[in-house]
Amino acid sequence: MSLVLIVEDEAMLRASLARGLSKMDGIDVVDAGSVDDALVLIDRRPPDLIISDIDMPGRTGIELLGELGRRGLIVPIVYVSAYLKAYRAQLPPNANIEVMEKPVALHEIREMVRTKLERRSEAPEPFSVPDFIQLASMGRRSVVIEATWPDGSKGEISVRDGEVWDASAGDRSPKEAFARVAWSDDARVRCRTARNLPAVRRLEGSAESLLMDTARLLDESNREGLVDRAQRYSSMPPRMGGDDLEDAFAAAAGPAEGLSSIDADDTKRAFAEEDDEAAPEPPVELSPMQKEFNRLVDDGVMALLTKDFATAAAAFQEAEEIQPGDSTVRTNIERLRELGHVPEPKGESS
């Protein structure tokens, strides 16, 4: 069921509109008499469509745009007002905003609602929870990924500096909550910047291992296909590189063949004095082009986390021009192309 929120300060008009829309198939309707009351309902369950007056006591309906943005929500809004001329200049050009001038017939509003909800249902799926986890991990971001299910229940996964930190969903354990949020297909998802995350980490393991482990558990419960999806994320480019990778391989391999651990320690002690006297290596100075590439990738990842797909596409495409073939950049460009935010390469047949 799609949820429509009506925001209107005139009680009789609000009740009449709610009755009229509630008779439509597949639609639940909730209503509020002010922006503040509307925000309480939005936080309880994000709507699929908002129909709002503009000129109301206290806060204007236009302020809903900023409140939705702060919550990381993308919700179409239909403004129905008798004061469009006074407020039109304050409404940004946006495909998710429609305006209708009072008085307007109920059948016109119903048709607008039907059209908006159909477009929303036909739109490409946004980035999934595993996508957001992987993006936050690559960008070493601190975010909270929230899921809201049709029954109003909620869950969330916290990522701190790129590491999966915690998860909650009802009375489930952290790992069960992670599985519920990460692999549920019927939830509305949003990603926001994290503030004041708990100091104690309740989930251990990399993002890739947690996704794979929970996918296996759910597949054993007859939910086929999740392991294949998880493998797509585990095959993403590692965040380490250069010396970090060499150190990781060395640690995994252990002492060289033919040397005991004592021999290895003796060797380290033998070179300790020489190492102490050696001057520290200066930090590697990145070229201006490399700095610009890193900045663009960072901007692209951050834009994806906030669902600003147009900005993300522009950043990754510019980064691709600087370093063609970078695996992280190419992966994100291809995903954005699947969502319709990057055109097909020239010369390819449709």
In this structure, are 118 and 134 located in the same domain? no
In this structure, are 60 and 14 located in the same domain? yes
- Give how many domains the chain has, as a whole number: 4
In this structure, are 115 and 134 located in the same domain? no
Q: The domain containing residue 30 runs over which residues?
A: 2-122
Q: How far apart are CA 145 and CA 2, in angstroms?
A: 22
In this structure, are 186 and 112 located in the same domain? no
What pTM does this model have? 0.49
In this structure, are 8 and 117 located in the same domain? yes
* Residue 168 domain-assigned (yes or no): yes
**Using one digit for the tens of pLDDT, what is the confidence trace for 68-88?**
877 767 789 999 988 777 777
* Residue 283 domain-assigned (yes or no): no
CB 46 within 8 A of CB 22: no
In this structure, are 312 and 255 located in the same domain? no
Please give the chain's pLDDT, 350 residues, in tens.
789 999 999 999 999 999 999 999 989 999 999 999 999 999 888 899 999 999 998 999 999 988 887 776 778 999 998 877 777 777 776 667 888 988 889 999 999 999 988 876 655 555 788 888 988 888 788 889 989 888 889 999 999 999 999 999 999 999 999 999 999 878 888 887 787 888 899 999 999 899 988 888 776 655 555 655 555 554 444 333 333 333 333 333 333 333 333 344 443 444 344 444 555 566 667 788 888 998 898 888 877 776 677 888 889 999 999 999 888 888 888 888 877 778 777 655 44
Domain boundary among 122, 149, 166: 122
**Using one digit for the tens of pLDDT, what is the confidence trace for 177-189?**
999 999 987 888 8
In this structure, are 145 and 48 located in the same domain? no
User: CATH number, domain at 24?
Assistant: 3.40.50.2300
In this structure, are 206 and 259 located in the same domain? no
In this structure, are 218 and 256 located in the same domain? no
